[in-house]
Amino acid sequence: MTMAAVHIREVHKHFGGNHIIRGVSIDIADGEFAVLVGPSGCGKSTLLRMIAGLEEIGSGEIEIGGKVVNDMQPKERDIAMVFQNYALYPHMKVRDNMAFSMLLAKRPRAEIDKRVDKAATILGLTDLLDRFPRQLSGGQRQRVAMGRAIVRDPQVFLFDEPLSNLDAKLRVAMRTELKEIHQRLETTSVYVTHDQIEAMTMADQIVVMRDGVVEQRGKPLELYDRPANLFVAGFIGSPAMNFLPGRFHLNASGPHVHVEGGVILPVPLGTRAVEGQNVILGARPEHLALGAGAQGFGASVVVVEPTGADTQVFAKVGATEVAAVFRERHDFRPGETIRLVPDQERTHLFDAESGKSLRNQT
């Protein structure tokens, strides 16, 4: 089993006049599953292609398995990549698609067959080995693309949005399968996606990128619990976090946020701001509870969406729309006023200007 850490140090990249990657540094440990996530155009795919050697590195350094690969050809980097459109050779049978790299390397036929058969068994492709890609369904093609990567037994797997061409149900199934395969092979993997749920469910480490910069990286739940800024807070989690803009004031009963519309809420624990500072209070829909009397703040119900497992409620606080998710079933009517109480231990406070989290660095 070959394994390797990947280190990306202060990497920059320009396309013409556009600064696409702006000083990115990421460390990925041996056997780790790292997910690069961000909106389209954030540079995550470019970064992946730079690791693969398909895109030149502007400045900075990329290291795979202890070797700086800046000047290495893709084939010398000992990596395998799964493309978004699978990039299967249409004129080759599944077997030859998977064996192509070993055929080029002039490996003995017996070894090639053994490795192809082994990978086919792992992925359940044994019956499809003599078919052409055209004769396969989308999910099967995806699997062949995986198989082509697995037979190589590379130091690092690179995935470029591999599930985005599949339908929703298959995507969830393949997600689980990919995670299983990774747990079995323990090969270092870098996975690019724009889907934060894929990132949350699969990653050991999530790297959130925007405009060529790493906004935050860490374990999935770290990002969920302690987002470093407004962007990460809004990007991770579904439905997205509610943001209530307001002003920080020290009242008699302690520090509070005076939210627009006359609502006064206690600040989240472990945060610090100065008197009168413009802040944004963040509360995830699942961290809003129903309150009675004068608890929390009043909101006027707009839409109720029961999903069976839980109830999603969209309501208005002044001009701001707020989402809440309850485990119980509720039968609110549109226009009805309900009281929502944020869980003070799980709310977040951000500076309105910089968007940075105001959590104490402890």
Partner 1 sequence: MLSRYLNNRNVLGLLFMLPAGALLLIFLTYPLGLGTWLGFTDAKVGRAGVWVGLDNFRFLWGDEVTRLALFNTIFYTVVASIVKFALGLWLALLLNRNLPFKSFVRAIVLLPFIVPTALSALAFWWIYDAQFSIVSWSLMKMGIIHQYIDFLGEPWLARFSTIAANIWRGIPFVAICLLAGLQTISPSLYEAAALDGATPWQRFRYVTLPLLTPVIAVVMTFSVLFTFTDFQLIYVITRGGPLNSTHLMATLSFQRAISGGSLGEGAAIATAMVPFLLAAILVSYYGLQRRTWQQGGTDR
| Residues 200-219 contacting partner 1, CB under 8 A | none
Under the binding rule (CB under 8 A), the answer on residue 80 touching partner 1 is yes
Closer residue to partner 1, CB minimum distance, 79 or 358: 79
Closer residue to partner 1, CB minimum distance, 79 or 259: 79
Under the binding rule (CB under 8 A), the answer on residue 57 touching partner 1 is no
Under the binding rule (CB under 8 A), the answer on residue 153 touching partner 1 is no
Taking CB under 8 A as the criterion, the residue among 40, 66, 104, 308 binding partner 1 is: 104
| Both tokens assigned to 126 | 């044994």
Nearest CA among 203, 224, 212, 228 for reference residue 29: 203
Under the binding rule (CB under 8 A), the answer on residue 87 touching partner 1 is yes
Under the binding rule (CB under 8 A), the answer on residue 75 touching partner 1 is yes
Taking CB under 8 A as the criterion, the residue among 12, 60, 63, 83 binding partner 1 is: 83
Yes or no: say if 138 and 166 are a contact pair by the CB < 8 Å rule. yes
Distance CA(29)–CA(33), nearest Å, equals: 9
- Least distance from partner 1 to the Cβ atom of residue 27, Å: 23
Taking CB under 8 A as the criterion, the residue among 137, 176, 344, 354 binding partner 1 is: 137
Distances (CA, A) of 212 to 44, 136, 207: 8, 37, 12
Nearest CA among 30, 33, 58 for reference residue 43: 58
| Both tokens assigned to 116 | 């192809």
- Options 11-19, 136-144, 260-268, 354-362: segment touching partner 1 (CB under 8 A): 136-144
Nearest CA among 215, 204, 163 for reference residue 39: 215
Paired sense of beta strands 288-291 and 337-342, if any: antiparallel
Distance CA(140)–CA(11), nearest Å, equals: 36
- DSSP-derived letter for residue 346 is G
Write phi, then psi, for 3 (nearest 5 degrees): -140, 160
Closer residue to partner 1, CB minimum distance, 173 or 303: 173
**């050779």: which residue's tokens?**
89
Distance CA(173)–CA(137), nearest Å, equals: 15
Under the binding rule (CB under 8 A), the answer on residue 79 touching partner 1 is yes
Nearest CA among 213, 215, 233 for reference residue 225: 233
Taking CB under 8 A as the criterion, the residue among 135, 183, 251, 278 binding partner 1 is: 135
Under the binding rule (CB under 8 A), the answer on residue 136 touching partner 1 is yes
Closer residue to partner 1, CB minimum distance, 90 or 108: 90
Closer residue to partner 1, CB minimum distance, 84 or 164: 84
- Least distance from partner 1 to the Cβ atom of residue 93, Å: 8
Closer residue to partner 1, CB minimum distance, 55 or 351: 55
By CB under 8 A, name the binding residues for partner 1: 52-54, 73-75, 79-81, 83-85, 87, 89-92, 100-101, 104-105, 132-138, 148
